[in-house]
Amino acid sequence: MQIKQRPVFPGGIHPTDGSDKELSMEAAVQPYWPETVTILSEQSFGGKCRILVNPGDSVKEGQLIGEPDAFMAAPLHASVTGTVLEVKEVANQGRNILACVIRREEKHAEPDAAYCHEPVNIHNISREEILKGLRDGGLTGMGGAGFPTHKKYETDKPIDALLINGAECEPFLTCDYRLMLENGHALINGVRLLLKGSGAQKAYICLEDNKPRAAEHLRNILKQAGESGVLDADEHVEVKVLPTKYPQGGERQLIQAALSREVPMGGLPADVGVIVSNVGTARAAADVILGQMPLIRRIVTVTGSVKHPGNYLVPIGTSVRELVQLAGGVTVEKNRVIAGGPMTGPCVASDWKGEKELFYVTKNTSGILVLPDSAYEEQPCIRCGGCENVCPAGLVPYQIDFAFLEEDYDLCEKLFASECIACGCCSYICPAKRELTVRTRMARDMVKQRMRERAVKKA
Amino acid sequence: MNQTKTIQGPHLRTERTTRNVMLHVSISLIPALLGAVYFFGIRALYLTGLSVAVCVLTEYLWQKLTKKQVTAGDFSAVVTGMLLAFNMPVTVPTWIMIVTAVFSILFVKQMFGGIGNNFVNPALMGRLLTMVVWPGTVMQYVVPRTLSTDAVSSATVLGAVKTGGEAGYSYLQMFLGETPGALGETSKLLLLVGFAYMCYMGIVNAEAALSYIATVLVLTFVFGPAGLFTGDILLNLFGGGLIIGACYMLTDYAFVTRRGRILYAVTAGVITAAIRIFSIYPEGICFGILTANCLAGALSLFQKKHVYGTKKA
């Protein structure tokens, strides 16, 4: 007899009681069309694009305006119909990035396509067409680092499982939850396309047990799709509910929890036959392949200390300042504004009053969070072992921390600092409030750099 | 307090701090302190207060003088001070209490780098010092005032049995604390109340304490004074300082895996039992735990840890 194991990954934390998500959980997604958009040529770190348009050009929604110039890049499209005002460098999270500013001149007409309301037949769409769609549609990961989607799917390794990441384990964020509830059909159609594109036998839509409504909803759609007869015999999609724990949505942890597999050190999920894509990416796949609309919009959660926390469907390049205004503005004067979730998102401004531009929505901006400012004093480590207990990668953060402070990078390497996933669990749990995540991440980068240097020397 | 602003994430942190962990430990020791006052009189409170004050002050002055970050307010010195006093008989002279407290904080804790860096438990080290330097003075245990209005000198239960005498007290008296002994260690009931509080607050893990107790009891039972399987389990459990040692001294913090924790506790237990069985000392708690403290680094090598993505051993 096989013992059924509860799907889990080791370590992890429960950073909140869930009340943070309740802020925006019931807020239906509102579309918002700003007057101008500022589309960054670098949508994710290292994903540089060459801008193809000049000031004065008229552009149409979905028109190609940037070509990939780097490995991490995906094609860039105009997110509104209008005129290019300027192509200039803008300050974005401490760096200057070339951006294309477009003034919107036409209202957006929402197409009423079948794939958004019902399961559609994808029998006649070939794998090649899907891969081409993913590439030309400028799809990137929409939850994490913004890795170009087509690069994941064009692997020559055999893939047997596709994980669709709807864990949304970061506190406060609800954009994926709303997407699953409101765009269930488009999502499921997208998952089916990605399944075909990946060549896997089965797709699992993974979410945490704090989102029972979304799980129920998606299961109903799958059932309906099964009954409608449009599904091919080899299309196996399953909704998998996992116990709520942070960082469930971390790619590696999700693979471990859902499939009991571990991505080998220095490897990619494809090495164990898995591809992981965010629910947003799956929905975007449906938009580009079934709706001929490249990735130009996404849902962004605006929450925390704002008057009306909510979820907004906005074109890429929307100003975050406008979005926070739309949500009623900040309610706490001593605050910090965070791009993304509270655990891994960088702080982009503190004591922000609403007048300065912060950053512009990119393909992987999942949320804007305003938190009351907080300060801690770092104290000596008391060797409680809390960080070691919660580390999902199985590291001993406090030892890496000491090794790093002593600049003993050999020891950092021996302690597997390179395997840090920067989830933030160690800093969260530390009673001495040590900045373990910050320094372990620095140790990781240092160790990885040394490994690369060694590899170069060897060659 | 000067607080440095941290802009880097994660932006959510647990509310638990070193200070409130130590505060909870101090709170958990209060029942035992009240018990000490009840059994040994108001001098118990005086000694505990003195010990705590000296510990905190020593820590503060040392950190000020060496221009280190001042952490004297984090209650860890309070815990050390309380435990130190709990290990003394009520008759201990004031000056010995002060010297021991200074020794524990200054030489055992601060000179090794302060909180977290001391490789042995400061309170136990303090007890060891007094045992070695002033054995006559600190082994003067007295009968609780609930039994005798005069402070009658007496051996502890374990001590009496060790030298071939009778225990002279019922198991219930031992459990409640109505026996001669050090201030805080006599009432097992009150110590367990405090320990339950710490477990409830999620500060300690009971695994190490239980494996330590189990190891000592099994070994002392098997290798009893009158041959195999003749040990007195309840006497060993309630007669001495086993419970305070297991619950408060055997800090298992260096071990994260269950395997490591239990290995550590069992090691301490074997040494404690060996001392109880073979040596002239009736207790062995102090030596057992201090030895395990020193072996912690070596023992941690036996922990099986798995780093994600590496081959399983």
Q: A365-383 pLDDT, tens per residue? A: 999 999 998 888 899 998 8
What's the pLDDT at A6?
63
Q: Residue A217 pLDDT > 90, yes or no?
A: yes
Q: What is each CA distance from B242 to A192, A315, B268, in whole angstroms?
A: 63, 68, 11
Which of B253, B230, B244, B227 has its CA nearest to residue B283? B244
Which of A365, A371, A249, A370 has its CA nearest to residue A313? A365
* Percent of chain A scoring above 70 in pLDDT: 98
Task: Tell me which chain B residue has its CA closest to the CA of residue A371.
Answer: B11
Judge if B83 and B155 occupy the same domain.
yes
Counted across chains A and B, CB pairs separated by less than 8 A come out at 140
Rounded to the nearest angstrom, the minimum Cα separation between A283 and chain B is 29
**With 0-12 CB in 10 A as exposed, 13-18 as middle and 19+ as buried, what is B220?**
buried
Closest Cβ opposite residue B310 in set A265, A338, A389 = A265
Judge if B255 and B271 occupy the same domain.
yes
Judge if B189 and B210 occupy the same domain.
no
- φ and ψ of B48, to 5 deg: -65, -45
What's the pLDDT at A2?
46
Structural domain contains residue B257: yes
Cis-peptide into A380, omega within 30 deg:
no
- CA A283, A289, A293, A296 dihedral sign is positive
What's the pLDDT at A319?
94
What's the pLDDT at A223?
93
What's the pLDDT at B148?
75
Q: Residue B219 pLDDT > 50, yes or no?
A: yes
What's the pLDDT at B256?
67
Least confident of A181-190, B133-142, B209-218: B133-142
B224 three-state secondary structure: strand
Question: With helix as H, strand as E and coil as C, how does chain A read?
Answer: CCCCCCCCCCCCECCCCCHHHHHHHCCCEEECCCCEEEEECECCCCCEEEECCCCCCEECCCCEEEEECCCCCCCEECCCCEEEEEEEEEEECCEEEEEEEEEECCCCCCCCCHHHCCCCCCCCCCHHHHHHHHHHCCCECCCCCCCEHHHHHCCCCCCCEEEEECCCCCCCCCHHHHHHHHCHHHHHHHHHHHHHHHCCCEEEEEEECCCHHHHHHHHHHHHHHHHHCCCCCCCEEEEEEECCCECCCCHHHHHHHHHCCCCCCCCCHHHHCEEEEEHHHHHHHHHHHHCCCCCCEEEEEEEECECCCEEEEEECCCEHHHHHHHCCCECCCCEEEEECCCCCCCEEEECCCCCCCCCECCCCCCEEEEEECCCCCCCCCCCCCHHHHHCCCCCCHHHHHHHHHCCCHHHHHHCCHHHCCCCCHHHHHCCCCCCHHHHHHHHHHHHHHHHHHHHHHHC
Least confident of A169-183, B30-44, B279-293: B279-293
Residue B145 pLDDT level (bands cut at 50, 70, 90): confident
Structural domain contains residue B154: yes
Judge if B136 and B199 occupy the same domain.
yes
Judge if B96 and B169 occupy the same domain.
yes
Structural domain contains residue B309: no
H or E segment to which residue B223 belongs:
strand B223-224
Say yes or no: A456 contacts chain B, CB-CB below 8 A. Answer: no
pTM of structure: 0.90
Judge if B88 and B56 occupy the same domain.
yes
- A435 in Cβ contact with A426 (< 8 Å): no
Closest Cβ opposite residue B10 in set A343, A388, A419 = A343
| B308·A392 Cβ contact <8 A | yes
Q: Residue B2 pLDDT > 60, yes or no?
A: no
Q: What is each CA distance from B248 to A62, B83, B121, B181, B194, in whole angstroms?
A: 67, 8, 10, 17, 10
Contacts of A60 (CB under 8 A, 6+ apart): A78, A81
Bigger pLDDT: A455 vs B146: A455
Say yes or no: B202 contacts chain A, CB-CB below 8 A. Answer: no
Rounded to the nearest angstrom, the minimum Cα separation between A34 and chain B is 29
| B310·A383 Cβ contact <8 A | no
What's the pLDDT at B9?
77
H or E segment to which residue B228 belongs:
strand B227-228
Task: Tell me which chain B residue has its CA closest to the CA of residue A263.
Answer: B309
What's the pLDDT at A274?
96
Q: Which residue out of A253, A412, A433, A439 would a mutagenesis test of the B interface target, given it has the greatest number of B Cβ atoms within 10 Å?
A: A433
CB atoms within 10 A of CB A456: 8
Can you read off the two tokens belonging to residue A36?
């101008």
Rounded to the nearest angstrom, the minimum Cα separation between B274 and chain A is 29
H or E segment to which residue B256 belongs:
none
Q: Of B179, B204, B229, which residue is a domain's last?
A: B204
Q: Of B169, B204, B239, which residue is a domain's last?
A: B204
What's the pLDDT at B261?
85
User: Mean pLDDT across the stretch B13-25?
Assistant: 93
How far is residue B132 CA from its own chain's centroid?
18
Structural domain contains residue B12: no
- B120 in Cβ contact with B249 (< 8 Å): no
Judge if B128 and B264 occupy the same domain.
no
- A399 in Cβ contact with B254 (< 8 Å): no
Structural domain contains residue B8: no
Say yes or no: A378 contacts chain B, CB-CB below 8 A. Answer: yes
pLDDT tens-digit profile of A6-59?
Answer: 668 999 999 988 889 999 999 999 999 999 999 999 988 778 899 999 999 999
Cis-peptide into B10, omega within 30 deg:
yes
Say yes or no: A71 contacts chain B, CB-CB below 8 A. Answer: no
User: Mean pLDDT across the stretch A233-258?
Assistant: 93
A77/A66 Cα distance (integer angstroms): 7
Judge if B140 and B215 occupy the same domain.
no
What's the pLDDT at B3?
42
Say yes or no: B308 contacts chain A, CB-CB below 8 A. Answer: yes
Residue-averaged pLDDT of chain B: 88
Per the structure, the count of domains in chain B is: 2
Q: Which domains are present in chain A?
A: 116-290 (3.40.50.11540), 386-458 (no CATH)
* Percent of chain B scoring above 70 in pLDDT: 95
pLDDT tens-digit profile of B223-274?
Answer: 988 888 888 899 989 988 899 999 998 875 666 677 888 899 999 999 999 9
B132 three-state secondary structure: helix
DSSP state of B164: T
Judge if B194 and B210 occupy the same domain.
no
Can you read off the two tokens belonging to residue A423?
């989830």
Site of tokens 């041959």: B227
Model ipTM?
0.88
Say yes or no: A252 contacts chain B, CB-CB below 8 A. Answer: yes
Closest Cβ opposite residue B9 in set A10, A346, A419 = A346
Structural domain contains residue B161: yes
Which of A180, A166, A237 has its CA nearest to residue A208? A166
Structural domain contains residue B2: no
Judge if B188 and B142 occupy the same domain.
yes
Residue B4 pLDDT level (bands cut at 50, 70, 90): very low
B272/B92 Cα distance (integer angstroms): 25
User: Mean pLDDT across the stretch A220-230?
Assistant: 89
- A203 in Cβ contact with A238 (< 8 Å): yes
- φ and ψ of B69, to 5 deg: -60, 125
Q: Residue B1 pLDDT > 70, yes or no?
A: no
Site of tokens 């999609």: A237
Judge if B50 and B165 occupy the same domain.
yes
Residue ranges of A 221-250 with Cβ closer than 8 A to chain B? none
Structural domain contains residue B105: yes
pLDDT tens-digit profile of A259-314?
Answer: 999 999 989 999 999 999 999 999 999 999 999 999 999 999 999 999 999 999 99
Biggest CA-to-CA distance, chain A: 70
Which of B160, B158, B162, B189 has its CA nearest to residue B173? B189
Q: Residue A171 pLDDT > 80, yes or no?
A: yes
Q: Residue B194 pLDDT > 80, yes or no?
A: yes
A344/A144 Cα distance (integer angstroms): 10
Q: Of B187, B204, B221, which residue is a domain's last?
A: B204
The pairing of beta strand A335-339 with beta strand A367-372: antiparallel
- A278 in Cβ contact with A143 (< 8 Å): yes
Chain B hits for A378, Cβ within 8 Å: 4
Q: What is each CA distance from A119 to A124, A186, A196, A339, B27, in whole angstroms?
A: 14, 8, 15, 34, 62
Residue-averaged pLDDT of chain A: 91
Amino acid making up residue A249: G
Domain that holds residue B227: 205-304
Residue A144 pLDDT level (bands cut at 50, 70, 90): confident
Can you read off the two tokens belonging to residue A219?
């299961």
